[in-house]
Amino acid sequence: MDSLNPTRRIAVYPGSFDPVTLGHMDIIRRAAKQFDKLIVAVLNNTSKNPLFTVEERKALLASATADLPNVEIDSFRDLLVRYMRTRNANVIIRGIRSVSDFEYELQMASTNHQLDSSIETIFMMTNPKYSYLSSSIVKEIAMFHGDVGELVPPEVEAALRAKFAAAPRADKRS
Ligand code: ADP
């Protein structure tokens, strides 16, 4: 158990992951190298209207990270800093794509530090080839039956195809 070894460095990468993209995967792979354990924590946010359920998002993340032994997939609905305490983690990982990401992330990081001064947020810059990539863009392309093969892990591509299989093709609509 984590609590038996307080010297282990445990980080949490929180987010919606609706669904996980190759941008997220790039951050996960890089962060996993820096910590003994990386917990990818899906936010169970009832105020958003997600495409995938929390269980579906966790299953997709688990499959996409199966080759990374120190990555664990979890979900939380509590305040992030409180969840982190239950997991003995004190580092939050967030990805930054743009200056506009930075403004929001700075606010979040400052708030979390205010709530618990032992918690640090570490920002990782996106790989430039994914700087435009977001879950929203992926969903939009998939909804219109566009090709997302270069943007998401294969299991996510299949799950998106299944979700939107019943939707009429955009180019066939009147
Ligand atoms: P949230 O709703 O918390 O922003 P997301 O799933 O959209 O959840 O993103 C989780 C984290 O991953 C955030 O820190 C976000 O900035 C980062 N992220 C999202 N897409 C990318 C990307 N293409 N490259 C790097 N980081 C990303």
Q: For residues 22 and 152, is the Cβ–Cβ distance under 8 A?
A: yes
Predicted pLDDT of residue 167: 63
Model confidence at 133, pLDDT cuts 50, 70, 90, reads very high
N- to C-terminal Cα separation, the chain: 58
- CA 75, CA 16: separation in Å to the nearest integer? 10
- Would the pLDDT of 122 be above 60? yes
Nearest partner of 115 among 87, 88, 80, 78, judged by Cα: 80
Strand pairing of 91-96 and 10-15?
parallel
Q: For residues 151 and 138, is the Cβ–Cβ distance under 8 A?
A: yes
Mean pLDDT of 7-36: 96
| Alpha-carbon dihedral sign for residues 148, 25, 137, 16 | positive
Strand runs (DSSP E) across the chain, as ranges?
A: 10-15, 37-43, 71-76, 91-96, 120-125
DSSP classification of residue 66: T
Q: Residue for token digits 């990401």?
A: 101
Predicted pLDDT of residue 4: 53
Q: What is the pLDDT of residues 47-56, one digit of tens each?
A: 778 999 999 9
User: SS3 of 73, please?
Assistant: strand
Q: What are phi and psi of 15, to 5 degrees?
A: 175, 180
Nearest partner of 89 among 17, 41, 43, 20, judged by Cα: 41
- For ligand 1, the distance from its centroid to the CA atom of residue 21, given in whole angstroms, is 9
- Which residues are annotated as catalytic? 24, 48, 97, 135
Predicted pLDDT of residue 171: 52
Residue from 27, 79, 129 whose mutation best tests the ligand 1 pocket (most atoms within 8 A of CB): 27
Predicted TM-score (pTM) of the model is 0.91
58 CB under 6 A from ligand 1?
Answer: no
